Amino acid sequence: MALAPKPAARPPDLTTTRAPFIEEARAHGEIYIIDQPYELYSDENQATWGRLLERMHDPWARYANRRFLEGMEKLQLSAARIPHLDDINRFMQPLTGFRARAVSGYVPSYVFFDCLRRREFPTTVTIRDGERLEYLPEPDIFHDVAGHVPMHTDQAFAAALVRFGTCAAAAAQRAAAVRDQRERLHRLTSNIRAMSRFFWFSVEFGLMRHAPGDGDGALKVYGSGLLSSFGEIANAIDGPDVERRPFEIGEVVNQPFDIDHYQPRLYVVDSFDHLFALVSELERWMLEGKLDDVAMGEPNVSEADLASFLSYSEP
């Protein structure tokens, strides 16, 4: 009996969730920081990058905030090829000290925030499947490099990111001082949830009202989740069903979010100095115990997230 021919094996590449290099890095314990294995990008991966970048030009011109557009102008990302992180860093580090560090995937929350404190941005190196440009259950290099990195060329925004890192360090330090283990875990879970929600509704999905004199008073997008989404960026500004509210810490830290749908509610800041002041305020709230009982719900705080905070040691 003749056997049916096997389908041709896919050559290894760096498509998200199908990249053997990443699995091998994990198997060898290199869970976080890796090298960007540039030679593994296939022609298809490169073409996907080009399509993603080119289709965002018009939405960015219309909806992105000025700082992002200036950052994009400085970085000069090319649709012809996926960027080398080393090239980006040579350019970006002198501007704000930030650099993109290649990671193998999910990074536990304390490790992530602590990277920000050191002006390092954990950056995914895989790229989404070219057949499903919109479907994005996890970050990829387009989200991380085209959505986040242009913002890191701005001093005020970079300072706000570092502030998230110091806030996380303060949360870890505070948790370490709680003797009762149940109480320590309860507070820490709530603190992590609050910080994650704040980060989500600002760095990932934030809107900004440009001040008169720094634009035309228009509402623009600065959140990277929106900046890397062809469908959602327009909806965030023009969608009739989106509620756009002033960024109030007490509301944001108690607001669960759903990563699988367009966000029905978004929060607006005035400037990146305003964002910096809000993160500083978040840390004060945390130290005063005002983030110890935030509303239950998404995001889930995993064992790995908790363990990462509990293994904190004095910087």
The residues of the shown chain that bind Fe ion, judged by CB under 5 A, are 224
Q: Which of 123, 152, 91 is nearest to 14 (CA)?
A: 123
Q: How far is the CB of 42 from Fe ion (least distance, A)?
A: 24
Q: How far is the CB of 160 from Fe ion (least distance, A)?
A: 15
224 or 308: CB nearest Fe ion: 224
82 or 149: CB nearest Fe ion: 149
Q: How far is the CB of 92 from Fe ion (least distance, A)?
A: 17
Q: Which of 151, 144, 195 is nearest to 169 (CA)?
A: 195
Q: How far is the CB of 143 from Fe ion (least distance, A)?
A: 6
Distance from C-alpha of 150 to C-alpha of 161, rounded to nearest angstrom: 13
Q: Which of 135, 49, 18, 43 is nearest to 9 (CA)?
A: 18
Angle at alpha carbon of residue 141, lines to 71 and 244, rounded to 5°: 60
- Describe the strand order of the beta sheet including 243-246 as a list of residue ranges: 219-221, 207-209, 265-269, 243-246
136 or 178: CB nearest Fe ion: 136
User: Do residues 49 and 212 make contact, with C-beta atoms less than 8 angstroms apart?
Assistant: no
89 or 196: CB nearest Fe ion: 196
SS3 content of the chain, % helix, strand, coil (to 5): 50, 10, 40
Query: How many Cβ atoms from other residues are within 10 Å of residue 35's Cβ?
Result: 12
Q: Which two tokens stand for residue 31?
A: 């869970």
Beta bridge partners of 243: 265
107 or 291: CB nearest Fe ion: 107
Nearest-CB residue for Fe ion: 224
Beta bridge partners of 156: none
224 or 255: CB nearest Fe ion: 224
Helix (H) or strand (E) holding 162: helix 155-176
Q: How far is the CB of 204 from Fe ion (least distance, A)?
A: 5
Q: Is the N-terminal amide bond of 299 cis, ω within 30° of 0?
A: yes
Q: How far is the CB of 272 from Fe ion (least distance, A)?
A: 17
215 or 299: CB nearest Fe ion: 299
Q: How far is the CB of 197 from Fe ion (least distance, A)?
A: 14
